[in-house]
Amino acid sequence: MSTRGGSLGQRLERVRERSFLGRRHELHFFRAALHGASGAACVLYLHGPEGTGKSMLLRQFALEARAAGRIVVRVDGRTMPATADAFTRAVRPVMREPGAVLLVDSFEHCRSLEGWLREECLPRLPWGTVAVVASRHEPDPHWPADPGWTGLLRVLPLGGLSKPDAAAFLRQRGVLPHLHDALLEFTGGHPLALALAAGAAVRTETGGGADCADPPLGQDAVATLLRRLVGTPPDEAHQAALDVCAQARVTSVALLRAVLGDQGEDLFLWLRDQPFVQTTRLGVAPHAVAREALRADLRWRDPAGFAELHRRIRGHLLERTRLAPASRVLETVGDLRFLHRAGRFLAEAHGRPSGGRAEELPRAVGHEATLIRRIRRQEGPESARIAAHWLREQPESFLLQRLGPGEGAVGCSAWLELTPFEGEAEDPVVAAAWAHTRKHGPVRAGEHIALARFHVGEYGDHRPSPVMDASLGRMVGEIIRDDRLAWAFAVLRDDGFWDSHLRHHAMEPTAGTVTVDGHRHRLFACDRRALPAVFGGAANAPLLTGAAPGPARSGQDPFTAAEVLVLGEEEFAVAVTAALRALRRPRELALNPLQHSRLVLAHGMGLKDVVTSAIGSLPLERGGDKGYRAVTAAYVEGASTQAAAARRLGLPFSTYRRHLAWATRRITRIMWEHELSGTPLLSPADRSRR
C-alpha cells in the first residue's frame, strides 16, 4: 500500500493540470486581467453549452491565480440558493481581500440574479478584483448596452477545442490514430463528446469489437451526450422541433411551420432559448455536437421517421429555392447541400482547399478586362475571345465570386441563357449544345437553354473550389427555379473527374467532346422538362441535391428522364384532342402519348384525371360555363354524337360546335402551360375543397 504524502484532491489537481489542453485565447485574456495589463477587462463572461469545459477552464484559472499569489473564491450556482442574500454571503471574502479572484460557475442556475449581479454585486467589488462568470447562456443584452461596462467586460463564447488540441486530447486518452478523423468530425472538438468518444474507442479496441468509428460513438455515448447537452424536451412537439433543427442548416419559423404546422412560432421561440442553440442572421442552429447527437439518435430510434423528416425539409427547401430571388439562390442551394452533406457525392465534389465558401456578386462595370485576363490565362486565347463575345452580348450572365465581404474576387463563372439558336456560329461549345437538343429533344416555343461556362478561379482547373461550388450551385438553383428552361448544360474539362457526381445530379455526359485552345471540353446535359417533380414539392425531388440513391421506387416515387416524352406544341394539341375523345375508353386512353408527358407524370394521377381537372377549370374563366357544358356533354357524359349533345343542351348545332371548339382550344392551352411550367393542375377533389 502506498504511503506517499498529499491527498487525493492534490493528486487530482496535478493530473488535471497536466492534462489541460488548449484555450489559449481565453487564458490570454484571463492572464491580462490577472497581471493588470493596460486595457484588460476585469470581468470575463464565459458562455457555452454543457460539456464545453467551462468548469475545467475555471479550475485552470484558479491554479494560475493561486500561483500568482491571489486569493481565489469560487461560487457554484448548482449548490447555492438563487437569492441575492446567499450570493452576497458567498462572495463576502472577496470584499475583504483586494486583488482576489472570483470564479462563478454554472451561473445559468442563477439567471434570475443577472440584473442584480450586473447592477449591484460586481460594482461593489474592490478595484483590482478579477471576476469570471461561466454560464450556459449568453449574457443578457443589458451588458453591452450599458456604456459603463465598455472596457470592463469581455464576453468569451466557449466552443470546441481546436483540431490540433482535440487530436492531442485523443492521444492522451490512448485512442489509436486511425480513429481520430471520424471522432474529430463527429465531436467538433467538444470536450465532453471527445471524452465519451475516447472511452468508447478504447473499450472497443481493447475488447476486440467493431470499429467504433462507424458509428463514431456508441448509442450509449450518444444518449449520455443528449442528457447532458439537451436534457428532456417537454413533449413530442418539442422533440420534433429539435429533430428539425438538427437536420436543417438553419431553422426558421417558416421551416417549422412547413414541417410541424401552426405551432412553429412557439417552437421556434423555445429553440432560440436553449443554451445549445445559436441565433444566426437567418434563424437558429444547434452547436455541432448537439446536432450530430440528435441526428444519430433519431436515425437510430426511428429510421423511417428520420427519412420522412428529411423528405419534408427537402420539400420546403426546394420550394424556397424555386421562389427565391436571384441573390438568394446560392444560400438556398447551400441549405439543400447541407441537408445531404453525409452523402459521399457532395463530400467528394465540394471540398474546399481554401477553407472558405464563395459568395456571388453581379459583374461590376470595369471588371471586364480582369475577367478576360483570367480566362485567357487558364483557358487560352480562343476561350478569351469567346468569353469577350458573351460579355458583350450578355454581361449580366457573368458573375464574380469572393470569399467574404470586403474580399477581392477569387474567380468568375457564367450562366448563359440562350434562345434558338443563339451563339451557334460564334461558340463551338454552344453549337454542340444546340446539336444535342436537336437530336434528343428540340426546344419548344417559349423555352430556352442555359450553359454553366467559364469556371475560372485560383484553385486549379475545374476542381472542387469555392468557384466551382458557386458555379454548380447557381446551376442547380436555376434548374429548380426556371420554368421555361428546356436544357441545362455544364461545360467542364473532359477528364472524368465530374462524371459520377453530375450523373448523380441528373446530368448525363453528351456524346463527343469540343476542343478549344487544345483543351477537350465535355458537356453534361439535363433535360429539365424531364424533372417536373421538383415542383410537386417535397415527395418527388429529383437527384439535384446530392442525396444518395435509394431503393427501388414505388409508384409514388419520382420518375426518371428516360420515362418522359417531350412533345412539340402541335403534337401535344393533337394528343389532347385524342385524349378528350377517348376519355370514356380506358384502353384507348392508355395508348395516348400524354401518358408519358411531363404533365401527367408530375401529377401523381392518371391522364383521365388530369384532363378532367383541365375541364373543371373552365367555369373559372369568363364565359367558360358554355364551353364547360359543351365539352362535358360531348366527352365526360359521352353523348353518342355532337348533334345529340347539342340537342341535350338545347343549342343550335353551329352554336354548340363553336362552344366545343373554344373549350377544346382552351383545355389544350391550359394543359400546355402546365406542361411547360411543370406545375400541377388541381385535382377535382382539391378544387371542390376550395
Instruction: Classify domain 8-157 at the CATH superfamily level.
Output: P-loop containing nucleotide triphosphate hydrolases (3.40.50.300)
CA-closest candidate to residue 144, choices 133, 155, 130 = 155
- pLDDT band of 486, cuts 50, 70, 90: very high
Q: What is the pLDDT of residues 299-355, one digit of tens each?
A: 889 999 998 999 899 989 988 998 888 888 888 988 988 888 765 545 455 544 333
7 or 114, higher pLDDT: 114
Say how many C-beta atoms besides its own lie within 10 A of residue 190's C-beta: 29
According to DSSP, the β-strands at 284-286 and 277-279 are antiparallel
Confidence of residue 540 (pLDDT cuts 50, 70, 90): very low
Which of 255-264, 345-354, 619-628 has maximum average pLDDT? 255-264
Give the pLDDT confidence of 443-471 residue by residue, as tens digits.
Answer: 988 899 999 999 887 655 677 777 788 88
Residue 558 confidence (pLDDT) above 50? no
pLDDT grade, residue 545 (50/70/90)?
very low
What would be the CATH architecture of the domain defined by 359-536?
A: 3-Layer(aba) Sandwich (3.40)
pLDDT at 210 over 50: no
Residue 655 has pLDDT above 90, yes or no: yes
Q: Could you give the CA distance from residue 26 to residue 115 in angstroms, rounded to a whole number? A: 24
pLDDT band at residue 419, thresholds of 50, 70 and 90? very high
Q: b/e map of 116-154 (b: 16 or more CB within 10 Å)?
A: ebbeebbeebeeebbbbbbbbeebeeebeeeeebeeebb
pLDDT band at 539 (very low <50, low <70, confident <90, very high): very low
Query: What confidence score (pLDDT) does residue 322 get?
Result: 87
Q: Where in the chain is the domain with CATH 3.40.50.300?
A: 8-157
This model's pTM is above 0.75? no
Neighbouring CB atoms inside 10 A of 527's CB total 21
Our CA angle for 686, 687, 690, nearest 5°, is 90
pLDDT exceeds cutoff 70 at 401: yes
Mean pLDDT of the chain: 83
Q: SS3 of 96, please?
A: helix
pLDDT of residue 155: 94
**CA distance linking residue 388 with residue 632, whole number of Å:** 57
User: pLDDT for 605-620, tens place per residue?
Assistant: 789 999 999 999 999 8
Sign, Cα dihedral of 564, 565, 570, 571: negative
> Looking at per-residue confidence, does 655 or 1 come out higher?
655
Output 66 or 558, whichever has higher pLDDT: 66
Give the per-residue pLDDT at 461.
Answer: 64
Q: What is the pLDDT of residue 276?
A: 85
Inter-CA distances, 86 with 38, 134, 451, 655, Å: 34, 18, 70, 94
CATH 3.40.630.30 domain position(s) in the chain: 359-536
Mean pLDDT of 232-236: 93
The pLDDT score that the predictor gives to residue 460 is: 58
Cβ neighbour number for residue 102 with a 10 Å cutoff: 24
Gyration radius from the chain CA atoms: 33
Q: Among 149-163, 257-271, 668-682, whose mean pLDDT is lowest?
A: 668-682
Say whether pLDDT at 166 is over 90.
Answer: no
- Region of poorest pLDDT, from 5-14, 271-280, 389-398: 5-14
Res 153 pLDDT > 80: yes
* Residue 384 CA from chain centroid, whole number: 35
- For the cut 70, the answer to whether the pLDDT of residue 24 exceeds it is yes
Higher pLDDT, 400 or 251: 251
